[in-house]
Amino acid sequence: QVSAALKEGRVTPTELCQRCLALIKSTKFLNAYITVTEETALKLAEESEERYKRGQPLGILDGIPIAVKDNFNTAGIETTCASKMLRGYISPYNATVVQKILDQGAVLLGKTNLDEFAMGSGSTDGVFGPVRNPWSYSKQYKEKSVPKSHSEDKESDWVITGGSSGGSAAAVSSFTCFAALGSDTGGSTRNPAAHCGVVGLKPTYGLISRHGLIPLVNSMDVPGILTRCVDDAAVLLGSLAGHDPKDSTTIQDDFKPFELPNLTDVSKLSIGIPKEYNAPGLSSEVLALWSKAADLFKNAGAKVVEVSLPHTRYSIVCYHVLCTAEVASNMARFDGLEYGHRSDVKDSTESMYAATRREGFNDVVRGRILSGNYFLLKQNYEKYFVKAQKVRRLIANDFMKVFRSGVDILLTPTTLSDAAPYTEFIQEDNRTRSAQDDILTQAANMAGLPAINVPTALSERGLPVGLQFIGRSFQEKQLLTVAKWFEKQVQFPVIQLEEVKRHDNGVFQHQKSASFS
Amino acid sequence: VLNRRCVEAAVMTGLALNCHINKKSLFDRKHFFYADLPAGYQITQQRVPIAVNGSLSYSLCIDNKMSQMVTKTVRIKQIQLEQDSGKSLRDDIRSQTLVDLNRAGVGLMELVMEPDMCCGEEAAAAVRELQLILQTLGSSQAVMAEGQLRVDANVSVHHPGEPYGVRTEVKNINSIRFLAKAVDYEIQRQIEELGNGRTILNETRAFDSKLGCTVPMRDKEGKQDYRFMPEPNLPPLILYDAKSLPANMNYQQLINIDWIHERLPDLPTVKREKLVEQYGILPEHSFTLLNEDGLAEFFESVVKQTQMKPKKVIGWILNDLLSYLKQHSLTVKESPVSSFLLADLLNLLEKKEISSTAAKRVLAELWKGEGKTPLETVKEQKLELLQDQKELEQICQAVIDGQENE
C-alpha cells in the first residue's frame, strides 16, 4: 500500500524517510538500532524521489525504508555484529542481499541490534545492550499488566524481543521501517518475529545468497525476512532469491518471483500437526492457540492430521554439537591482525591472539568456540561431529517422510510462550535459554526447510503470540499462500504505540496492517 | 568459490601422471593459528583428494658421462587442491615478522610422492621431470626460485630389510640443485646421529643454502591437532567423463575428464622418443635437448635449415652451442647465434667449403654477435678450404722444399 502511495505521489520518499528517522529517534529507548545511517538514507530517499518524479521507479521497493541486521556487510557503514571484536569495522563491500535491495531503490535506514554474533534467543547479549520489545510500551500490554507497587521501577517491566534478530523485529514492529533483514540459524528470525508480532520468514537453505552475511553456522544460516504482512514478505523474497555465483551453496535453478494468490478454498490442503512439538515448557496459552488454529483449518475444509517427527527430541543436542563446531571454525578468523579489535598485548603473536579474542568476544561466543573446538578434536570427531551429522540426516528424513505421505504444510507453535520480562529472562544463562527456546524452530534449519511465523493473537498479558508454518523445500509459494490465508483469518491487531501515533498523520493510519505492497 | 582453472590443471596433471581421478572429491578445513593464515583455517582436501595412485617416470645417468641412462619410477600418492597462505618475511633487524597477504587464498595443487627415491640425485631428477611435465601441460611454470614450485623433502634412513625410519621434513629448498644437496646432507646427518646412538626426531627442518645444512625450524610445533572439518561452503566437487555427462546441464558448469584427456599435449617422455625416432639421435641426447628450455626447438630449427645430418648437427648443438651458453650463463633464447646462422655455418661445412677446425673458429667469431654472416667471417679470415688440386700440390711441395733446406 505504501508503495502505491509513493507511486501516486500521496507521499514522497523523503517524507517517508524523515518520518521513519524521527520515529527512530523517539523510540530510541527500544535500542533496536546500532547504527542509523541518516545521511545515506536521506540521500537514497532523494534519489528515489527523482525517479518517481520521472515516473521511473525501480520497482515496488523503490523508496521503501528498510533496516538491516548488523551482521550483514554494508559498504562504507559500520558492521559490528554487536561485538567488541568488530567495533569500528567499516565493511568494504555490500552483502549480496543488501546490494539487491539497494539495486531496487530501497532506502537503507540503519543496522539493527542483535545478540553478539547472532548467538542467543533474546537479543540481550550484544555489546550495545539488550533490545526492548515495543509491545512493552503498547496500550495493549500496559492495560493488562498487573499494577506494580510504587517503589518498583516501571522501566524494568519491559519484555524482551526474542533473538537473535531482535533489533530487526522491533524496528518493523514499531513502524520505524517497512521491512527488515535478519538472519536465521536456529530460529533467529522467527523467534523475535513471534514475540514482536510481525511476520518472520526463514527461506529454504540455498535460495538466498549468504555472501556478505557474517557466518555463524555455514550449513544452517539463511538471511531472514521480517515484515508486517505476508504479502510484503513475498515481495522481499522475490527481490532477494536466486543463484549467486559468489555463494557456492545457492542453487543454480532460476527463481521466478511470484505474487501470492488469494486462497479461498483450503479443502485440498493437508495440514500436519507434529505431536512432538507439544514440547515441555509449552505454555497452556500457546497450546490452546495452536489447537484453535488447527480447528480453524479443519472447519474451513482442510485435512488436519496428527503426524510424528520422532527425532525432534535429539535436535537440540545435535544442533549444539554442529553449531558450536562451525562457530569455532568461523570465529577463527578474528585474530586482531587484519581487521577489528586488536589487544595492546605485544609479547608474542600467540599472546596477542589470546588477549584480543578474550577482550573481543563475550562469554557466549567464547563458550561456543571452546565447545566447538572440543568436538572437532581428532579424538572426539567421530563421537560427536560425525554422529551429530548422522542424527541431522535422520531429522531431515523425518520431515521428508511426512511430506511424502501427503502432508503439505506443518503447523506448530513458534515459541513456548509470549515474551518474558527481561529481568526474568536473564536469570538463566544464554545456553540454557537457547536450548529451551530454539526447540520449536531449529529443526527447520537442520533440514534446510522454509518456515514462517505468522502473528496470531495476543496473550493474556497483551503480548503477541505467533504460530509457525513449515513447508517443503523451495515451495515458498505454497507456504506463503497458506500463511496469507491464515493471516487473513486471524486478523492480528495493530500495535498501539503512543510514539507512533504522534508521528503518524495519515500515512500510517491508512493501513490496518501497514503493509507496503 | 572454486576456481575452474585450478580444477582443470589438477585433472590434467593427474592424467599426465597416470593417476586415478576421483569423480567426487571433497573439501575440508584445516584449522591452525598463524599470522599468514587470515581465516584461521586452510581449505584443503584431506578426506578425498581429486587424484590418487599415479606414477612419475624419470631418467638418471648411471655415471657422469651421460652415456648410460636408466629409467626409474616414483609413485604418486595423491594430488589435492588447497588454498595458499600469505607470505611471512622475517625482519631480523627490527625483530619483527612482516606478513604479505596478497597470496592468501590462491589455489594450489599439492602433489604427494611415496618414498621411492634413495638419494639427492634421484629426488632432483624426479622433480626436474615433474617440472618439465607441468610446464608442458601449462599447469604451472614451475620455477622454483619464484615460488611457483615449492618442494618439501621428507627424509628417513633405515637398514635394508628393516622398516622405514623416523622421517624429518626439510623445507626452504629453493632450487633443484639445493634439493639434491639438502637431501644428501640430511641423509648423512641422520646416519651420523643414529651411528652415535641418538634418535631421529620427527621434526621439521629448514635448509640453509649458505651453509649447506639443515637446521631445526623454530616456529612449527610438533604434533598439532588440526581439527579437520568438512568445508560447508563448498559442495562436493563432481567431475564427469563422456559416459556420465548429464544431458541437459550447462556446460560452463561442468568438467569432462575425457575431454581433457584427449587434449593433453605430448609429455616429455613421448617427445624424447619422437626426437630419437625422427632424427636418429641417442636417448641421452634427446634428454639433454629437452632439459634445456628451448634447445629442442633450436635443434629442430637448425636441422630444417641445413643439409647436414641430424646426427652430426646434434654434436654441434650439445658440445659447442650448449657449452658456450653454459659458460656465459645464457639461455637458449639469449643466444647471440641464431639457428639460422648456425645452419648457415653448418652448410658451409657440409659442402666442404671449410674444414671442421675452421668451422669452430668461425663459430667463435660468431659468438661475438657482431652481425657478420658465416660466409663473411670465412672470407675475412681466409678460412676457405682449398679445393684446387694443383694449388695444394704447390703448397705441399713448398713445405717439403722448405724442410729440405734445413
Using the Cβ of A351 and the Cβ atoms of chain B, whether some distance falls under 8 Å is answered with no
Q: What is the mean pLDDT of residues B16-22?
A: 93
For the question of residue A515 being annotated catalytic, the response is no
For the question of residue A512 being annotated catalytic, the response is no
Phi, psi of B28 (to 5 degrees): -130, 160
Catalytic member of A3, A91, A138, A164 = A164
β-partners of residue B10 are none
Using the Cβ of B35 and the Cβ atoms of chain A, whether some distance falls under 8 Å is answered with yes
Which residue has better confidence, A111 or A504?
A111
Interchain contact, A338 vs B1, CB within 8 Å: no
Paired sense of beta strands B237-238 and A65-69, if any: unpaired
Give A402-456 pLDDT, tens digit per residue.
Answer: 999 999 999 999 999 888 888 888 887 777 877 778 889 999 999 999 999 999 9
- Give, as one character, the DSSP assignment of residue B204: E
Q: Backbone dihedral region of B294: left (phi > 0), alpha (psi from -120 to 50 degrees) or beta?
A: left
pLDDT value at residue A507: 45
Three-class SS of residue B31? strand
Residues of B in contact with A331 (CB under 8 A): 40
Give the whole-angstrom CA distance, residue A299 versus residue A297. 5
pLDDT value at residue B399: 83
β-partners of residue B69 are B61
Give the whole-angstrom CA distance, residue A229 versus residue A199. 6
Interchain contact, A326 vs B228, CB within 8 Å: no
Nine cell digits for residue A275: 505431536
Give B267-308 pLDDT, tens digit per residue.
Answer: 888 888 898 888 888 888 888 888 888 888 888 888 888 888
Phi, psi of B105 (to 5 degrees): 95, -15
> A198: pLDDT confidence band, cut at 50, 70 and 90?
very high
Three-class SS of residue B102? coil
Paired sense of beta strands A65-69 and A107-112, if any: parallel
Of B1, B229, B235, the CB nearest to A325: B229
pTM of structure: 0.84
pLDDT value at residue A510: 40
pLDDT value at residue A503: 58
Residue pair A186/A76 in contact (Cβ under 8 Å)? The answer is no
Q: What is the mean pLDDT of residues B251-266?
A: 83
Give the whole-angstrom CA distance, residue B166 versus residue B157. 8
Residue A513 has pLDDT above 70, yes or no: no
Give A247-291 pLDDT, tens digit per residue.
Answer: 989 988 888 888 888 878 888 899 999 999 998 889 999 999 999
Mutate: best of A337, A357, A392, partner B, most B CBs <10 A: A337
pLDDT value at residue B155: 92
Distances (CA, A) of B9 to A249, A373, B281: 23, 34, 33
Give the whole-angstrom CA distance, residue A223 versus residue A234. 14
Residues of A in contact with B250 (CB under 8 A): 252
Give the whole-angstrom CA distance, residue A65 versus residue A178. 6
Residue B61 has pLDDT above 80, yes or no: no
Of B35, B39, B97, the CB nearest to A333: B39
Give A107-160 pLDDT, tens digit per residue.
Answer: 999 999 999 998 888 888 888 989 999 988 888 877 776 655 544 445 667 888
CA distance B46 to chain A (A): 13
Which amino acid belongs to residue A434?
A: S
Average pLDDT over chain A reads: 87
Give A46-55 pLDDT, tens digit per residue.
Answer: 998 888 888 8
Q: Tell me the CB-side half-sphere exposure of residue A264, using CA atoms within 13 A.
A: 0
Residue B17 has pLDDT above 90, yes or no: yes
Interchain contact, B232 vs A326, CB within 8 Å: yes
Residue A379, classified by CB atoms within 10 Å of its CB into exposed (0-12), middle (13-18) or buried (19+), is: exposed
Residue A232 has pLDDT above 80, yes or no: yes
What percentage of chain A carries pLDDT values higher than 90? Answer: 50
Which residue has better confidence, B135 or B384?
B135
Which residue has better confidence, A182 or B317?
A182
Interchain contact, A376 vs B39, CB within 8 Å: no
Give the whole-angstrom CA distance, residue A490 versus residue A420. 23
Interchain contact, B234 vs A332, CB within 8 Å: no
CATH class of A1-141+158-314+389-490: alpha beta
Give the whole-angstrom CA distance, residue B48 versus residue B44. 10
Give the whole-angstrom CA distance, residue A265 versus residue A302. 8
Looking at A88-129, list the stretches that DSSP marks H as alpha helix, in order from N- to C-terminal side: 96-103
CA distance A354 to chain B (A): 11
Which residue has better confidence, B131 or B397?
B131
Give the whole-angstrom CA distance, residue B262 versus residue B266. 11
CA A325 to chain centre: 22
A268-277, A386-395, A501-510, B157-166, range with the lowest pLDDT: A501-510
> A516: pLDDT confidence band, cut at 50, 70 and 90?
very low
Residues of A in contact with B29 (CB under 8 A): 329
ipTM metric = 0.83
What percentage of chain A carries pLDDT values higher than 70? Answer: 93
- Longest pairwise C-alpha distance within chain B: 100
Q: Backbone dihedral region of B154: left (phi > 0), alpha (psi from -120 to 50 degrees) or beta?
A: beta
pLDDT value at residue A480: 93
Residue A388 has pLDDT above 50, yes or no: yes
CA distance A44 to chain B (A): 32
A234-248, A397-411, A496-510, B344-358, range with the lowest pLDDT: A496-510
> B67: pLDDT confidence band, cut at 50, 70 and 90?
low
Give the whole-angstrom CA distance, residue A470 versus residue B16. 51
Q: Domain segments of chain A: what residues? A: 1-141+158-314+389-490
Residues of B in contact with A326 (CB under 8 A): 229, 232
Nine cell digits for residue B189: 646427518
For the question of residue A417 being annotated catalytic, the response is no
pLDDT value at residue A511: 40
A20's CB contacts (< 8 A; 6+ apart) are A41, A65, A109, A175, A176, A177
Residue A1 has pLDDT above 70, yes or no: no
